[in-house]
Amino acid sequence: MARWDEILNLPVQSPPTLEFSASDIVWSKVEGWRDKIDRVALIPFARVDDFIRGESSNTDCPTRFHVEARRHRSAKASYKVKVDGVLEYILYWCSFGPDDHRKGGVVRPSRNTYVPKKKSAGRPGTKRGCTCHFIVKRLIARPSVALITYSQDKHVDKNGLPCHGPQDKKAVGTHAMYAPYISEDLLLRVHSLLHAGVPVETIMQRHNELVEKQGGPFNRDDLLTHRYVRRQEKRIRRSKYELDADDAVSLSLWVENHPTSVFFYQDFSESDPFTVGIQTEWQLQQMIQFGNRGLLVSDSKFGTNKFKYPVHSLLVFSSENKAVPVAWVITPRFSSRNAFKWMRALHNRVLAKDPSWKLAGFIVDDPLTDVSEIRDVFECSVLISTWRVRHAWHKALMKSCSQNEMRIQMSKRLGQIVSEICTGQGNVTLFDDFMEEFVSNSEFVEYFKAVWYPRIGGWATSLQTLPLASQEMSSAIEFYHRQMNVRLLNEKDPSAYQRADWLVDKLATKVHSYFWLDEYPAKHDFARYCRDEWMDELTSWRNSLKIPDSDVILEGQCARVKDQQDQEKNYLVSNPGSEFSVCDCTVSKSGYLCEHVCKVSRVCRKKEPSKPSLCLYQYKQALIKMLCCTPHDSLIRDHAVSLTAFLQTQIKASADFDSNDRMMNEIDKQAGFTVCSDNNINLALEQLGESGNLGSGNGRLLNKGTGERGSCDVSAFHDEMEIDPSSICVSPSGLFATHGVLPADILSVNGDKTLLTDSHLMIENDASEDRDISNQVFPQDMMEGPLSTESPELCSVINHDYDDYRDKVTESLDSIDDNTVLKFYKRPKTSLKKRKLTNKEDTRKDSKRDDN
């Protein structure tokens, strides 16, 4: 029992890398069987494969490990289990052992049927008697943890001599110098190229050229043979998705055959709907790489009118801001709200690889999505994308309305309605006025009433309560849809669309291969075999960056953009600067967001900085709300003030002021070092008996409202890209990742809904403690009694002049442009440590400030 007490008390180790080996783990020595000393360690059971891959990629002795023995028992037992009860036992052995097929080697009696191959194409001496092996046990007492016992960590034979790898002199010039099999990365490359239609001969030709260029083989992947690639090509060609006539049975068989590509599976039951989640190892790596401190997009409606079950895609943005699918979820339409289980499974799978993984924001495209579940699982802010709405309305307008002037007017009005709802200036009744105003266009009005009017209320509520995703995000999502239309909806037999087994097999094989090729740097070597499915293009937003500003001419209610291929050709963009602009190019006529609309929007915001995009407007409103509505926590309040002060300092420092003295005065005022001398505030505070120096957080807050706004040359800032709304929730200091420290509505767009999770629990449970922290505004008077920020007298005093200060703070924040905020959030992330100041320290700091 002492042995198992010592083992169960060991720490569970999970190195923060995708793969890790024995050298990355701290091993413990415990007493083993027959007085032996075992080297043991505990790791998460979900990371056993990562450990095996790390051990196989040993540079001193590359190899592979295979399962030599396995035992498994049910987790439910009718009797009381023992402390050392084993739920699963797996013995992993080096693939160069344990048998020895060399001359004079020992072969186990059960394996004496081996006949040495005499052909040159064979691989003689694969088994060389290697004794390296380790045991993985999954204990019943702790089923989520794997106990690793490394019995022999040296790759030697029974005589203690190296038997393979570079240290074995007899292995020089043979395959025993390298790993027995090709790596998983090369296998994925070969499968992707074969699925994309590249011939075997071309794959081998490019591979041999690369090996010759580097001067010969250096690892096992360099020994790739034509025979192996041909065998993989035959296996792909002969595979089939229909494993059974019954679609449900066939799908369950497919899930059993591809366990590593499925992260969640749930069959139909009385209480739960059918759900299958697909995520390959490459997709998991992409999610960890690009999703950490980034955005995750939910695209939930692809193929709704064509497939038996729609495809729910989860996307991240690559270094080129392209949407990369990191998971696909297949489930019926009515189960869109029952997504908590598979989201939790996906999140746990990522955390098993990287415990420090953290999401910055989650973008949804369906107002019926349960936002609270997303916040509960991913612990991040939730945004909403209007790309689906804009695409559907714009496409219907192009189809149903033949008069161009009517299209422009209706599109402009729809854009104004969305803007008014997002800014809190309108509600759902605006759509009733829209249908009455354009009743002459009966076809579009009937379409709008039948399809969108029943659910327009949910959209209006989401637009009012959730931040809006930027236009750049919309262009990336749109490009992903165009890729999926070409790569998935190209089946010759339309009846296959009604089978779920075809859908999951097509996604996990061909569609996955094309997205892998998008990130493959050497894909241009196979350019001659490019098909429509490759779609090696940039998003419309990225293409707009290539258009110079001189090629855009604004002419009142329209703009002209020169074609980059033919300078004599111009495209006419109506409603410039609107989210619902209309262009006369072929891309826009198809309902998509074209590069000309994106470019005109950027130019309009440069020339009219007072009219920012909707997402930037919401960002500024959140800052204003944090300044004017002081949070109960002094840490958050001080950071909000310093954040705005820093942004204003950066803006004004880059401008050309008249004198250095004026610049210093402005910066001093922004930093909050001046004392508020407003007569009304002081008079009211004197009536409360609190007429002291406002040198703390609220004093700085009022100073921010009364500070003058310095002149700033806004045109000097070149906004390279639109501000990302995720900056509302993630700051360099990790401020908004702090849970339960903000009031419930501090980061909502119009004060209706919070963007953080469980903040009300913090307020209810720690009300007295929070009041003490927030009331450090008046440190001199805290000795007599704390003044709560929720006091009705103080609220009435501040609200008396609230409008004046709000206008001045708003005027100061209007100078913040997209590029300035983006530069601030591109700074290296630092940690923000919470501290509490004692009354004496506050008093001493205030007195020192008064002396200065």
Least confident among 284-288, 446-450, 708-712: 708-712
The answer on 826 and 770 residing in a single domain is yes
Residue 396 included in any domain: yes
Q: What's the pLDDT at 119? A: 47
pLDDT confidence tier of residue 256, bands split at 50, 70 and 90: very high
For residues 497 and 306, is the Cβ–Cβ distance under 8 A?
yes
Q: Who wins on pLDDT, 331 or 670? A: 331
* Distance of alpha carbon 701 from alpha carbon 698, whole angstroms: 5
3-state secondary structure of 745: coil
3-state secondary structure of 563: coil
- Bridging pattern class, strands 381-384 and 361-364: parallel
Residues 6+ apart with CB under 8 A from 652: 663, 666, 667, 670, 710, 712
**Of the candidates 567, 589, 607, which is a domain's last residue?**
607
The answer on 818 and 807 residing in a single domain is yes
* Distance of alpha carbon 117 from alpha carbon 107, whole angstroms: 16
Least confident among 138-142, 369-373, 752-756, 811-815: 752-756
**Of the candidates 177, 200, 218, which is a domain's last residue?**
177
Residue 527 included in any domain: no
Q: Who wins on pLDDT, 618 or 70? A: 70
- Count the neighbouring beta carbons within 10 Å of the beta carbon of residue 673: 14
Segment 390-411, tens digit of pLDDT: 999 999 999 888 888 899 999 9
Does 152 score more than 60 pLDDT? yes
The answer on 761 and 836 residing in a single domain is yes
Q: What's the pLDDT at 73? A: 80
pLDDT confidence tier of residue 180, bands split at 50, 70 and 90: confident
Q: What is the CATH number of the domain that holds 335?
A: 3.30.420
Segment 496-508, tens digit of pLDDT: 899 999 999 999 9
Identify any residues that bridge with 316 across adjacent strands, giving them in sequence order: 324
* Distance of alpha carbon 573 from alpha carbon 11, whole angstroms: 63
For residues 666 and 710, is the Cβ–Cβ distance under 8 A?
yes
The answer on 498 and 444 residing in a single domain is no
For residues 297 and 315, is the Cβ–Cβ distance under 8 A?
yes
CB-based burial label for 680 (10 Å; 0-12, 13-18, 19+): exposed
Q: What's the pLDDT at 81? A: 59
Residue 761 dihedral angles phi and psi, to the nearest 5°: -65, -40
Provide the 8-state DSSP code for 156.
B
What is the number of structural domains in the chain? 6
Determine the average pLDDT of the residues in 233-246.
91
3-state secondary structure of 611: coil
3-state secondary structure of 88: strand
Residue type, 40: V
Residue 519 included in any domain: no
pLDDT confidence tier of residue 126, bands split at 50, 70 and 90: confident
The answer on 547 and 501 residing in a single domain is no
Residues 6+ apart with CB under 8 A from 691: 682, 685
Does 26 score more than 60 pLDDT? yes
Q: In what order do the strands lie in the sheet with 323-330?
A: 262-266, 275-278, 323-330, 311-317, 295-302, 361-364, 381-384
Least confident among 68-82, 239-253, 403-417: 68-82
Least confident among 185-199, 206-220, 375-389, 701-715: 701-715
3-state secondary structure of 92: strand
Alpha helices per DSSP H over 629-712: 634-654, 660-671, 679-687, 697-706
**Of the candidates 551, 577, 607, which is a domain's last residue?**
607
The answer on 72 and 22 residing in a single domain is yes
* Distance of alpha carbon 112 from alpha carbon 324, whole angstroms: 50
Among residues 487, 542, 539, the alpha carbon closest in space to that of 512 is found at 487
What pTM, to 2 d.p., does this model score? 0.72
Place of tokens 């501000």: 723
Q: Who wins on pLDDT, 307 or 765? A: 307
pLDDT confidence tier of residue 565, bands split at 50, 70 and 90: confident
Identify any residues that bridge with 403 across adjacent strands, giving them in sequence order: none
pLDDT confidence tier of residue 418, bands split at 50, 70 and 90: very high
For residues 297 and 314, is the Cβ–Cβ distance under 8 A?
yes
Residue 504 included in any domain: yes
Least confident among 197-211, 482-496, 827-841: 827-841
Rg value, the chain, Cα: 32
For residues 748 and 755, is the Cβ–Cβ distance under 8 A?
yes
Least confident among 62-71, 174-183, 319-328: 174-183
CA distances from 844 to 57, 214, 635, 674, 837 (A): 60, 69, 19, 18, 11
- Count the neighbouring beta carbons within 10 Å of the beta carbon of residue 561: 25
3-state secondary structure of 130: coil
H/E stretch holding 31 reads strand 28-31
The answer on 365 and 260 residing in a single domain is yes
* Distance of alpha carbon 414 from alpha carbon 410, whole angstroms: 6
Does 358 score more than 90 pLDDT? yes
Does 654 score more than 60 pLDDT? yes
- Bridging pattern class, strands 570-574 and 558-562: antiparallel
The answer on 750 and 827 residing in a single domain is yes
The answer on 768 and 634 residing in a single domain is yes
Among residues 541, 588, 542, the alpha carbon closest in space to that of 393 is found at 588
Place of tokens 């930027």: 470
3-state secondary structure of 87: strand
The boundaries of the domain holding residue 717 are 614-851
Does 118 score more than 80 pLDDT? no
Average pLDDT, the chain: 76
The answer on 359 and 423 residing in a single domain is no
Least confident among 119-133, 360-374, 518-532, 808-822: 808-822
CB-based burial label for 674 (10 Å; 0-12, 13-18, 19+): middle
pLDDT confidence tier of residue 113, bands split at 50, 70 and 90: low
Does 680 score more than 60 pLDDT? no
* DSSP conformation letters of 430-487: HHHHHHHHTTT-HHHHHHIIIIIGGGHHHHHHHHHHSPBPPHHHHHHHHHHHHHHHHH
The answer on 439 and 399 residing in a single domain is yes
* Distance of alpha carbon 736 from alpha carbon 50, whole angstroms: 32
H/E stretch holding 139 reads strand 133-139
Does 414 score more than 60 pLDDT? yes
Q: What's the pLDDT at 200? A: 94
Token readout for 92 is 């992993």
The answer on 782 and 749 residing in a single domain is yes
* Distance of alpha carbon 602 from alpha carbon 581, whole angstroms: 13
Residue 616 dihedral angles phi and psi, to the nearest 5°: -70, -35
Does 91 score more than 90 pLDDT? yes
Helix pair 200-213, 226-238: axis angle to 10 deg? 150
Does 490 score more than 50 pLDDT? yes
Segment 593-636, tens digit of pLDDT: 999 999 999 998 888 876 778 888 888 887 777 777 655 556 66
- Bridging pattern class, strands 28-31 and 381-384: unpaired
- Count the neighbouring beta carbons within 10 Å of the beta carbon of residue 133: 19
Residue 315 dihedral angles phi and psi, to the nearest 5°: -120, 145
Determine the average pLDDT of the residues in 342-354.
93
Residue 525 included in any domain: no
- Count the neighbouring beta carbons within 10 Å of the beta carbon of residue 556: 6
Q: Who wins on pLDDT, 175 or 306? A: 306
* Distance of alpha carbon 616 from alpha carbon 722, whole angstroms: 8
Reading phi first (left if > 0) and then psi (alpha if -120 to 50, else beta), residue 792 is in alpha
Residue 523 included in any domain: no
Q: What's the pLDDT at 832? A: 39
* Distance of alpha carbon 310 from alpha carbon 328, whole angstroms: 10
For residues 693 and 682, is the Cβ–Cβ distance under 8 A?
no
* Distance of alpha carbon 196 from alpha carbon 212, whole angstroms: 25
Residue 10 included in any domain: yes
CB-based burial label for 16 (10 Å; 0-12, 13-18, 19+): exposed
Residue type, 703: N
* Distance of alpha carbon 780 from alpha carbon 840, whole angstroms: 9
Residue 61 included in any domain: yes
For residues 405 and 395, is the Cβ–Cβ distance under 8 A?
no
* Distance of alpha carbon 712 from alpha carbon 653, whole angstroms: 9
**Within the chain, how many helices (H) and strands (E) appear?**
31, 17
Q: What's the pLDDT at 844? A: 52
Token readout for 760 is 């009300």
Residues 6+ apart with CB under 8 A from 825: 724, 727, 730, 731, 732
CA angle 621, 627, 633 (to 5 degrees): 125
Total length of the chain: 852
Determine the average pLDDT of the residues in 82-111.
80
